[in-house]
Amino acid sequence: MALKKELSYSEAAVLAVQREMEADARVVVLGEDVGRGGIFGQYKGLQQTFGAERVIDTPISEAAIMGAGVGMALAGLRPVVEMRVVDFALCGMDELVNQAAKNRFMFGGQGRVPLVARMPGGIWDASAAQHSQSLEAWFAHLPGVVVVSPSTPQDNYGLLRAALQCGDPVVYIEHKTLWGLRGDVDEDIAVPLGQAARVREGNALTLVSWSRQMQVCAAACEALAAEGIAVDLIDLRTLWPWDRETVLSSCARTGRLLVVHEAVQAAGFGAEIAASAAEATGCRVARLGAPRIPVGYAPMLEAQSRIGTQAVVAAAKKLID
Amino acid sequence: MDSSIPGRAGEALYRVMVRIRAFENAAETASQGGVSAFGQQAAGAAKVRGPLHLSTGQEAVPAGVCAHLRTSDYLTSTHRGHGHTLAKGADLTRMMCELFGKATGFNGGKGGSMHIADFSVGMLGANGVVAAGLPIAVGAAHAQKLLKKGDDITVCFFGDGAINRGPFLEALNWARVYELPVLFVCEDNRWSATTASGPMTAGDGASARAASMDIAATQVDGNDVFAVHETAARLVGEVRVGGGPRLLHALTYRVKGHVSVDLAAYRDPAELAAALETDPIARARGHLLSTGIAAATLDAIENAARDEVDTALAVADAAPWPDASAAFTDVQTIGAGQWH
């Protein structure tokens, strides 16, 4: 029975968690302010439905939230661990990096840590250096975790359900400015982890991005199309494992790859994709990310960290020339 | 000391301590020059490689506490976790195999001494990061409460160095806020790696900090296994009946250096000499003799432990190494293996 409705990115996330909590009594939510629905509404109504024992308000204790999530998972629960913003997840970094990600391996497979750590990322308007970071490359570098970054309500619904079913620790990065984005959500569409979406087809170049930057890239593709340049636009959706097959087959066909991300360009995840594509296909590669600066507060300072449509168009044209 | 402990229970506590001591003595030798079976010196590299953190002198704490635990209770540990693991009921030979890095170890050679674990007896792992076991323990206890697992509890061992890390404070607060079935056990051995803990710690230590969060804490002579046993019996009982978290602050002493190769030359020899006067095994032996248990009985317990450890060394020596391909298993289900 197809249930299709228009939902916001945050409502889609609520629905995903609700469906998993209905299906599996082991799923619990823990984090700061989750009882009130989360600071972005991404848990709205869940405590009223499932009670305070399954949607657990916590003290401001990121290390304990993440660490308790590890202990809960080892003891048979499937926790959703809310970190508020990716910037604050750093307060629980040992618990993620040294505990959650390592547990299964270092104990020889005795334990499993099926937790989903939600940590909204990206520039949040006028929120400055400690509430606007894009740190996905840190987590993609970490053996033992899956890294997901959805760009649409449909994907947020499907990928969050897939993350909760996957059984490994998942770093789940929603974008802080996408919460109000609306779109159709079909509950019957499953979005598997590790599978990219081909959003536009074209032969002039391959453009890979994810999360909010997909909107910028889509606008850039429109502008390029107006000039007769047809772009193969790929939404990576999952950063680890990333969909090599979709990306590399596109690169082999177009001969050119541009990776665009909101994160700082230096040592960003775009470098991984670009290097892989160059190694595998010999295609021309280029990256476009933010300068290596903290995100500033004043509008003209914050703008220095943003990658706009014109910059994407210019980078694409330079690659084609 | 609690002379009310019946002879057989006293012998059981003694057996646990003696097995831990024998195991760690052998592991220490194996880490320094290499041993083959039965303690003969062997040329070549050490059999137990990497950092080996010994709990020599602290055996009374895990023995006295774990005597009250069931297999279904959970335990989290520190980087000094051999004693906790054995006291929780883990197989000694498989533990030696893990220290040797062999495929037959608990972790298939992937963890070694610092990550010793036996989930089959509820021992959820030693930990290479100080204080990291505390949040994991409250999570396990939280799950026990939510899953309504009878009156099972979680016990969390940590050292006096851990109380200066944030996760200690976060975990204690968490345990009290949610009234979790967890017993925190501070093994206060007076040293934080190679630095004395006292000058690095404001206030009166673990029990004072617990009290500040309204968690009842009890100090005990951690080198008196009978005192630990008696106090832990009360605290475990209170936790089991839903009384919320408790903290046991056991005052003991780290006889060895931080790791086996550390001779602790930074330490005042008089401090060590004084501590050795209160060795928990010697004290327990004296007490058991005074209650009428025959020396031959205790000798037999010690000989049996040595024999068991010798056998474990031989088994570990002969055990196969993990296949190199095992480095790629147990990483994660999705996105593991084929990637560089």
Question: How, if at all, do strands B195-196 and B191-192 pair?
Answer: antiparallel
Q: Is A103 left (phi over 0), alpha (psi -120 to 50) or beta?
A: alpha
Structural contact between residues B13 and B225, judged by C-beta atoms closer than 8 angstroms: yes
**ipTM, two decimals:** 0.95
Question: How, if at all, do strands A231-235 and A197-200 pair?
Answer: antiparallel
Nearest alpha carbon to residue B335 among A208, A90, A80, A101: A101
pLDDT bracket for residue B338 (50, 70, 90): low
Q: What is the pLDDT of residue B37?
A: 38
Residues 6+ apart with CB under 8 A from A311: A288
Cis (ω within 30 of 0) for the bond into B181?
Answer: no
Structural contact between residues B268 and B262, judged by C-beta atoms closer than 8 angstroms: no
User: Which of A59, A98, A194 minimises the CB distance to B177?
Assistant: A59
Q: Is A7 on the interface with B (CB under 8 A)?
A: no
The gap from C-alpha B339 to its chain's centroid, in whole angstroms, comes to 37
Q: Is A300 exposed, middle or buried (0-12, 13-18, 19+ CB in 10 A)?
A: exposed
Q: What is the pLDDT of residue A219?
A: 98
Greatest CA separation for chain A? 59
| Residue listed under structure tokens 């021992």 | B123
Q: Is A105 on the interface with B (CB under 8 A)?
A: yes
Structural contact between residues A232 and A250, judged by C-beta atoms closer than 8 angstroms: yes
* Shortest distance, CA A308 to any CA of chain B (angstroms): 32
Q: What's the pTM value of the predicted model, to 2 decimals?
A: 0.95
Nearest alpha carbon to residue A245 among A276, A285, A213: A276
| Residue listed under structure tokens 């297999």 | B71
Structure tokens at A65: 């939230």
Structural contact between residues B231 and B220, judged by C-beta atoms closer than 8 angstroms: yes
Put the strands of the sheet holding B74-76 in their side by side order.
B74-76, B154-159, B182-188, B246-251, B217-221
SS3 (DSSP) at B290: helix
The gap from C-alpha B40 to its chain's centroid, in whole angstroms, comes to 27
Query: Among A178-182, A290-294, B2-6, which stretch is predicted with the lowest mean pLDDT?
Result: B2-6
What tens digit of pLDDT does each residue of B126-174 get? Answer: 999 999 999 999 999 999 999 988 999 999 999 999 999 999 999 999 9
Q: Is A269 left (phi over 0), alpha (psi -120 to 50) or beta?
A: alpha
SS3 (DSSP) at B157: strand
d(CA B112, CA B132): 17
Angle at A84 between CA A80 and CA A90, to 5 degrees: 95
What tens digit of pLDDT does each residue of A53-89 get? Answer: 999 999 999 999 999 999 999 999 999 999 999 999 9
| Residue listed under structure tokens 């009166």 | B204
Which A residues 178-197 touch B at CB under 8 Å? 193-194
Alpha carbon distances (Å) from B262 to A184, A264, B194, B279: 63, 43, 9, 20
Find the DSSP H helices in A29-188: 46-50, 62-74, 86-89, 93-94, 103-106, 136-140, 153-165
Which A residues 203-262 touch B at CB under 8 Å? 240-241
Report CB contact under 8 Å: B117, A107: yes
Q: What is the pLDDT of residue B8?
A: 85
Q: What is the pLDDT of residue B336?
A: 87
pLDDT at residue B4 greater than cutoff 60? no
Q: What is the pLDDT of residue B7?
A: 79
d(CA B96, CA B104): 9
d(CA B196, CA B200): 7
Q: What is the DSSP string of A94-133?
A: HIIIIIITTHHHHTTTS-----EEE--BS--TT--TTS--
Amino acid identity at A6: E
Structural contact between residues B49 and B113, judged by C-beta atoms closer than 8 angstroms: no
Structural contact between residues A151 and A235, judged by C-beta atoms closer than 8 angstroms: yes
What tens digit of pLDDT does each residue of B92-127 get? Answer: 999 999 999 999 999 999 999 999 999 999 999 999
Amino acid identity at B251: L
SS3 (DSSP) at B247: strand
- Kindly name the residue from A131, A141, A175, A261 that is annotated as catalytic: A131
Is A131 part of the annotated catalytic residue set? yes
Which B residues 90-119 touch A at CB under 8 Å? 105-111, 115, 117-119
Report CB contact under 8 Å: A67, B124: no
What tens digit of pLDDT does each residue of B312-326 get? Answer: 999 999 999 999 999
SS3 (DSSP) at A77: coil
Alpha carbon distances (Å) from B19 to B95, B104, B107, B303: 12, 20, 21, 10
Q: What is the pLDDT of residue A4?
A: 86
* Shortest distance, CA A240 to any CA of chain B (angstroms): 6
Residues of A in contact with B330 (CB under 8 A): 104-105, 108-109
Q: What is the pLDDT of residue B315?
A: 98
Structure tokens at A30: 């823990």
d(CA B75, CA B108): 20
Angle at B56 between CA B96 and CA B134, to 5 degrees: 80
Q: What's the mean per-residue pLDDT of chain A?
A: 97
Residues 6+ apart with CB under 8 A from B9: B67, B229
Handedness of CA B274, B129, B142, B106 (dihedral sign): negative
Higher pLDDT, B38 or A85: A85
Q: What is the pLDDT of residue A250?
A: 98
Amino acid identity at B163: I
By C-alpha distance, the chain B residue nearest A56 is B178
In chain B, % of residues over pLDDT 70 = 94
- For residue A55, the cross-strand partners are A29
Q: Is A109 on the interface with B (CB under 8 A)?
A: yes
Structural contact between residues B142 and A129, judged by C-beta atoms closer than 8 angstroms: no
SS3 (DSSP) at B184: strand
d(CA A44, CA A36): 7
d(CA B184, CA B172): 8
SS3 (DSSP) at B313: helix
Q: What is the pLDDT of residue B269?
A: 96
Q: Is B3 exposed, middle or buried (0-12, 13-18, 19+ CB in 10 A)?
A: exposed
